[in-house]
Structure 1
Amino acid sequence: MMEPLRELRDGYIISLNLGSPPQVIQVYLDTGSDLTWVPCGNLSFNCIDCQEYTNNPTISRYSPLHSSSCIRDSCASQLCIDVHSSDNPYDPCNIAGCSLTSLMKGVCSRPCPSFVYTYGEGVVSGTLTRDTLRVHGSASGDVTREVTSFGFGCAGSTYREPIGIAGFGKGSLSLPSQLGFIQKGFSHCFLAFKFANNPNVSSPLVVGDLAISSKEHLEFTPMLKNLMYPNYYYIGLEGITVGTGTSGSLIQVPSNLREFDSSGNGGMLIDSGTTYTHLPQPFYSQLLSKLESIINHPRATEAEAQTGFDLCFRVPCINNITNVDDHLLPSITFHFMNNVSLVLPQGNSFYAMGAPRNGTVVKCLLFQSMDDEGYGPAGVFGSFQQQNVEVVYDLENQRIGFQTMDCASSSAFQQLHN
């Protein structure tokens, strides 16, 4: 499977061809969840607290009534049990009228009850539906594979989730799992922010053998096994270096960024559905202090108040061109387990908040503090820090590889871009 990804605002969009005849629905790629869901109903779909997306032409919706191959999933489906994951997954179907005997035998034909799925602050409510999914099997798009009876959520109402999601986690509901690729892997190379909303360029997404073959030159860090949360992708962070060479300063990270407690809390989640990298306190404050101590440019505190980012500077620029001043800010290197070092590409740490003025440009550190909730991952490696990096999920060998590259000019991009 080879599909182009388009950058939209704070994420990366993949187009799903669902139904008979096909309906093209654009959804976010999310490696931090399993369920694939789409907004359902041209008029009936309701998104609460989504005013900023009102009348956005990029939002597409799926109509079950206009597909001859659409069916409602039943309680006999394993996906129905999975979407209602709880202490007793049989309970919703029992309430719907399935007898205990039919549930245990997996033969109850009653429709799978509606589900509720949560994403941080967002909530999705819908019904589990099956329809034909068509994916491209080559870069040129001339090979199409039909996946019949693909299971996904048909969402009628959401809270703060105006656009659907393609779940790329490890669970049975995920898109790679249903396509039979969960024992293989996938890779992506996210374009930089400057290409957002540009219809003429795309990021390559490759799923299957081609994604992991001939990738031995990459640096691979092991996926950490979390028995409590087995469907997420965790890696271990061992340190962060600010600067390069002998002037670089290594900051040791807390052990919970590479270890789990007895409840499954800890580790670093790698997640395309989270925009910015989140780091726990007090380590996050230590990183800010180190950066502030070695950067001599004046702070832009008004930009910090406006944007919500914690560290902004006024950086000189030549002839009002912002991309020639990157050397004026220190590089940041992430050190993952297995001696894997990823020097973040220029622009993945500090980002210009606007056009240059009077020979300076305001740049802010696009990292954020992890909410101190005491549960879940200790940190998150977000999609912004993955830009211009080929990221390979080698699921067969349970490892994740990194290689910096110009995603816009990579060979994979050239094949995808007609």
Structure 2
Amino acid sequence: MPAPFTFTTFLFFLLVTALLLNASQSLAKHRNPSSLILGLSHSRTTLPIPKVSTVSTKRPSELLDMMEPLREVRDGYLISLNLGTPPQVIQVYMDTGSDLTWVPCGNLTFDCMDCDQYYRSNKLMDTFSPSNSASSSRDSCASSFCTEIHSSDNSYDPCTMAGCSLTTLLKATCSRPCPSFAYTYGAGGLVIGTLTRDTLRVHGSSPNVTRELQMFSFGCVGSTYREPIGIAGFGRGALSLPSQLGFVQKGFSHCFLAFKFANNPNISSPLVVGDLAISSKDHLQFTPMLKSPMYPNYYYIGVEAITVGNISATAVPLSLREFDSHGNGGMLIDSGTTYTHLPEPFYSQLLSVLQSVITYPRATDVETRTGFDLCYKVPCAGNITSADDLLLPSITFHFLNNVSLVLPKGNHFYAMAAPSNSIVVKCLLFQRMDDGDYGPAGVLGSFQQQNVEVVYDLEKERIGFQSMDCASAAASQGLHKN
């Protein structure tokens, strides 16, 4: 979860983060170290720009629907942004836990600190070049987005330092470029850049139709810390992609493919934005969105209990279904966090319940190597994605409004390697929250959302869940190439 702050604090922040390089991270935001053991690497294949038979230049409020494919990689889901004139295709993470959309800028000048492991396994980078776009321009101090990105301090301060007079600031007429910003993420990630305006092209719900949004505001980022790939913010703030497209009062839905499809260029996860995403969805189970007074732009729900197999539901702490007086608490739904995180001591209680019902030998050596807390040696018949999943207990989340979600098989325990001697080691891909009492009490990560249609009904402020074969859904929407 991000918290923007002004550039004047950036040098101090760098000094602090340098001291925390070896500290444990709070959320597995985007690049959780444990996910590296899954053997999945980022796909850098850009999606081709479709042949456009119709180009719509309607205002955002007139756009009805948007449908984009999501490419799965080892620790998240990538959406391709078509930016600029002519279009430059940049792949970025879809992130429901932040607002700002940003892309790496400059083929030679983009710099990412503490990204060595990523660069060793990926030779190509998607970067945006403003100088190669005829429609690119810097956002100005008169822009409400400039105020938004610098909102953690007095919003007038950065533009005053840039030379804007008080009169032009009060009238929102200062034409000076919006000053550089710095933007942080929950696990310690940091990006620094400038707000840029350019044309964004998205795919409509009808085949071969592309819609254009002129003057789309995004971060053109030249330096980052632990953030090698750009991000499309899907929060509810003014800077988010759905908000700028005019969909923040409607909704969107996604159906994340299972990990086995990671880096498969022939199939993509469906992402639908607009009326089509929420129409005819009343048959789903919907739980209300909780309104966080601390982070009103993000998606929170309440968890009442978690069931392991046939054991009676284990009650969760109040913090997972309500906020304290300071706005801390709730369960954050975050596609930018890989694994689900739960607070202590409840997390340890859940581990104890699982240990009491699973009788297979522990693979403690794998636990030590990967950092996961429960790993077991499970018998298998060679197919590590089917029959042996039935040998492990199910996990069910019980949300507010009597909504229950049984995690699809493969969404809790995952094979760490290929079977050996009819044995496969599977680890629980849950982790504990390390933030203490600050911020969300828990996070529902993207791994646990696989093969689940998740519907964000923003008009009615509710979130729906439905188990689904997302590969079949992708095929039905033309996202599966033969």
Report the TM-score, using the length of structure 1 for normalisation.
Answer: 0.97
- Size of the aligned set, in residue pairs, is 414
Distance 1:106 1:21 in 2: 31
CA contact (8 A) 1:3 1:139 kept: no
Distance 2:477 2:67 in 1: 13
> How far 1:176 sits from its partner (Å)?
0.2
Which residue of 1 is the match for residue 176 of structure 2? 110
Instruction: Determine whether 1:45 maps to 2:105.
Output: no
Q: Which amino acid aligns with 2:402?
A: N
Counterpart secondary structure, 1:410: helix
Superposed, 1:202-241 pairs within 5 Å as 202-241=268-307
Distance 1:320 1:138 in 2: 37
> How far 1:227 sits from its partner (Å)?
2.0
Aligned CA RMSD, in angstroms, stands at 1.2
Percentage of pairs with the same residue = 76
> How far 1:139 sits from its partner (Å)?
5.5
Distance 1:68 1:149 in 2: 12
> How far 1:98 sits from its partner (Å)?
0.9
Which residue of 1 is the match for residue 212 of structure 2? 146
Which residue of 1 is the match for residue 322 of structure 2? 259
Instruction: Determine whether 1:123 maps to 2:186.
Output: no
400-409 or 55-64, larger mean C-alpha shift: 55-64
Distance 1:40 1:51 in 2: 18
Distance 1:297 1:324 in 2: 15
Which residue of 2 is the match for residue 84 of structure 1? 150
Distance 2:213 2:222 in 1: 24
CA contact (8 A) 1:228 1:264 kept: yes
Q: Which amino acid aligns with 2:115?
A: C
Q: Which amino acid aligns with 1:406?
A: D
Which residue of 1 is the match for residue 466 of structure 2? 403
Superposed, 1:8-407 pairs within 5 Å as 8-54=73-119, 56-57=122-123, 59-120=125-186, 121-138=188-205, 140=207, 142-243=208-309, 247-319=310-382, 321-407=384-470
Distance 1:136 1:58 in 2: 25
Q: Which amino acid aligns with 1:306?
A: R
> How far 1:327 sits from its partner (Å)?
1.1
Which residue of 1 is the match for residue 53 of structure 2? none
CA contact (8 A) 1:37 1:164 kept: yes
Q: Which amino acid aligns with 2:182?
A: V
Q: Which amino acid aligns with 1:295?
A: I
> How far 1:381 sits from its partner (Å)?
0.4
Which residue of 2 is the match for residue 7 of structure 1? 72
Q: Any idea what the Cα deviations from partners look like across 1:104-159, whole Å, max 9, x if unmatched?
A: 1101111000000001210000000000000000253x000010000000001000
84-93 or 256-265, larger mean C-alpha shift: 84-93
CA contact (8 A) 2:384 2:415 kept: no
Q: Any idea what the Cα deviations from partners look like across 1:349-395, whole Å, max 9, x if unmatched?
A: 00000000111100000000001432100000000000000000000
Distance 2:75 2:458 in 1: 26
Distance 1:272 1:232 in 2: 11
Distance 1:59 1:392 in 2: 32
Distance 1:179 1:57 in 2: 33
Counterpart secondary structure, 2:174: coil
Q: Which amino acid aligns with 2:192?
A: S
> How far 1:248 sits from its partner (Å)?
2.5
Counterpart secondary structure, 2:478: helix
Distance 1:98 1:8 in 2: 44
Question: Alpha carbons of 1:101 and 1:169: their partners in 2 closer, same or farther (altered >3 Å)?
Answer: same
Distance 1:310 1:153 in 2: 37
Distance 2:384 2:118 in 1: 31
Report the TM-score, using the length of structure 2 for normalisation.
Answer: 0.84
Instruction: Flag structure 2 segments of 5+ consecutive residues without an equivalent.
Output: 1-65
Question: Alpha carbons of 1:357 and 1:322: their partners in 2 closer, same or farther (altered >3 Å)?
Answer: farther
Q: Any idea what the Cα deviations from partners look like across 1:53-77, whole Å, max 9, x if unmatched?
A: 2162463000001000000000000
> How far 1:323 sits from its partner (Å)?
2.1
> How far 1:414 sits from its partner (Å)?
3.5
Distance 2:255 2:176 in 1: 42
> How far 1:226 sits from its partner (Å)?
1.2
Question: Alpha carbons of 1:21 and 1:293: their partners in 2 closer, same or farther (altered >3 Å)?
Answer: same
Question: Alpha carbons of 1:9 and 1:413: their partners in 2 closer, same or farther (altered >3 Å)?
Answer: farther
Instruction: Flag structure 1 segments of 5+ consecutive residues without an equivalent.
Output: none
> How far 1:52 sits from its partner (Å)?
1.7
Counterpart secondary structure, 1:54: helix
> How far 1:417 sits from its partner (Å)?
3.1
> How far 1:406 sits from its partner (Å)?
0.5
> How far 1:266 sits from its partner (Å)?
0.3
Q: Which amino acid aligns with 2:377?
A: R
Q: Any idea what the Cα deviations from partners look like across 1:16-58, whole Å, max 9, x if unmatched?
A: 0000000000000000000000000011100111112216246
